[in-house]
């Protein structure tokens, strides 16, 4: 299944948000052409560890070694090198844009516009192009020119204020949530723009902001009400809704959810304390919230007497929402994710078959057909001859000249 097999994407992207956007389009069959600076490329190419024919190493051993970060973020895309600061390189890019459907970039706001490669410039040569700019704070507004990576966005969006323990400092979410959720909105919006283009025949400009994305998700909750009522925002491993949260067994931790009266009843019955069903301190949701510390302690006192496996067996038999608190290694090695395709073997553009490590797969199953595994992430400029020959009719001799002059 490759619904985007007729879509061509130009990507001037680096780090994570831009590459994750274009990689998801590539998974759906789009031809994604990643345009990188000659001799440098995406800055992540320099971030180890690296992997190649001699396995995984902290430093590159051969010219074909690629950063595992780059491999994970660029599966299925093609790489060309092009100096966009040169007049000839700029013209080559504009010529490629004539046949592109989508352009994605996540440079500092205005960078490509100042080079004559902004949306208006590309729209002149291709009015149908959809131009997607991803940035920390957006292309407009008082924060637009502030440099930003994921930690700054987590802080500015207020996410850190609600993450962590009540008696501890604001805490960053452990993975790059702003860099990873924003591309999903970008892909969603690109599909909407493609649909609109079918009606109008005209492309458009998409201004995608990491901070807008996280802020919009934050206020799906009642944060402003909590602030007004003086309720604590940081809840650690629990929630305000009664006993839901992390509990210690005699040999590990489990997560238990009891977000409704029915779930509370099933929980205490499963743990052998049916008398708590009608206890006025815990009987209704609002009473459990009012007595949240006591509610949690009652459950903790029962759970600590069990091993992790005993607790899971009892709770699952009682139809109580629960789970183990697992390590990264346990998740990585879980056959469930391999069978569903949400974790895939990592692939290298110049090495046949899988290499050491895993990459994220497409986390949705389609009844209309399987999403094929992407081919490996490319070495720098690996598809120069293919792309420039196909799109710009540049032969080997001309390509050699361009390379000698530092244009590709």
Alpha carbons 351 and 389: distance in angstroms, whole number:
23
Would you say how long the chain is, in residues? Answer: 408
Q: Which pair of structure tokens corresponds to residue 381?
A: 């400029």
Six-digit token string for 103: 């352009």
179 flagged as catalytic: yes
Helix (H, G, I), strand (E, B) or coil at 153: helix
| Alpha helices for 147-256 (secondary structure H) | 150-156, 177-200, 210-218, 223-228
Q: Which residues are paired to 343 by β-bridges?
A: 360
- The residue from 65, 150, 179, 207 that is catalytic is 179
Are 195 and 163 in contact by the 8 Å Cβ rule? The answer is: no
CA–CA separation, 308 and 220 (whole Å): 33
d(CA 396, CA 346): 31
Integer Cα distance of 257 and 259 in angstroms:
6
70 touches 366 (CB < 8 A): no
359 strand-pairing partners: 344
Number of helices and strands (H, E) in the chain?
17, 14
Catalytic residues: 179
């Amino acid at each position: 299944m490759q619904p985007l097999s007729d879509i061509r994407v130009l990507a001037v992207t680096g780090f994570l948000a831009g590459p994750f956007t274009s990689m998801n389009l590539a998974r759906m069959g789009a031809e994604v052409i990643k345009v990188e600076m000659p001799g440098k490329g995406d800055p992540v190419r320099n971030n180890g560890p690296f992997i190649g024919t001699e396995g995984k190493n902290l430093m590159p051993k051969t010219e074909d070694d690629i950063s595992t970060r780059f491999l994970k973020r660029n599966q299925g895309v093609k790489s060309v090198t092009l100096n966009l600061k040169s007049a000839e390189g700029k013209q080559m890019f504009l010529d490629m844009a004539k046949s592109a459907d989508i352009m994605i970039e996540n440079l500092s706001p205005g960078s490509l516009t100042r080079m004559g490669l902004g949306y208006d410039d590309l729209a002149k040569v291709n009015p149908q192009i959809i131009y997607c700019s991803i940035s920390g704070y957006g292309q407009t507004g008082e924060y637009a020119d502030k440099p930003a990576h994921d930690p700054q966005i987590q802080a500015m969006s207020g996410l850190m204020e609600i993450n962590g323990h009540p008696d501890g400092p604001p805490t960053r979410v452990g993975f790059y949530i702003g860099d990873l959720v924003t591309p999903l909105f970008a892909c969603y919006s690109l599909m909407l723009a493609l649909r609109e283009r079918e009606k109008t025949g005209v492309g458009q400009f998409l201004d995608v902001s990491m901070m807008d994305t996280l802020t919009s998700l934050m206020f799906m909750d009642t944060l402003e009400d909590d602030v007004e009522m003086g309720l604590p925002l940081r809840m650690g491993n629990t929630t305000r809704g009664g006993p839901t949260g992390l509990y210690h067994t005699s040999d590990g931790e489990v997560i238990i959810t009891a977000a409704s009266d029915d779930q509370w009843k099933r929980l205490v019955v499963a743990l052998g304390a049916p008398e708590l069903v009608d206890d006025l301190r815990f009987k209704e949701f609002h009473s459990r919230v009012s007595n949240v510390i006591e509610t949690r302690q009652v459950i903790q006192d029962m759970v600590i007497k069990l091993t992790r496996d005993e607790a899971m067996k009892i709770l699952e038999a009682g139809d109580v929402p629960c789970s183990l608190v697992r390590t990264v290694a346990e998740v990585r090695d879980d056959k469930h994710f391999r069978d569903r395709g949400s974790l895939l073997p990592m692939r290298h553009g110049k090495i046949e078959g899988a290499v050491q490590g895993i990459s994220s797969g497409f986390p949705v199953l389609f009844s209309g057909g399987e999403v094929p595994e992407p081919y490996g992430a490319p070495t720098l400029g690996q598809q120069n001859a293919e792309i420039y020959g196909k799109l710009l009719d540049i032969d080997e001799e001309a390509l050699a000249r361009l390379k000698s002059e530092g244009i590709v």
